[in-house]
Structure 1
Amino acid sequence: MNNSEIVAYYLENLWSKGFKLTDEEVRFIYFGMKYTNTSAKQVKIALSLTLQIQLSFDGSFYISLLELFHSNHVKTMKEARKLLQEKQVN
Structure 2
Amino acid sequence: MIERPTFVMTEQIDNPRTCVNHLHFPAGSETRWHRHERDYVIVPMHSCELLIDSGEGAKPVKLTAGECYYRDAGVEHNVINPSEIDITLIEVEIK
TM-score, normalised via structure 1 length: 0.23
Larger proportion of helix: 1
Higher relative contact order (CA 8 A, sep 6+): 2
TM-score, normalised via structure 2 length: 0.22
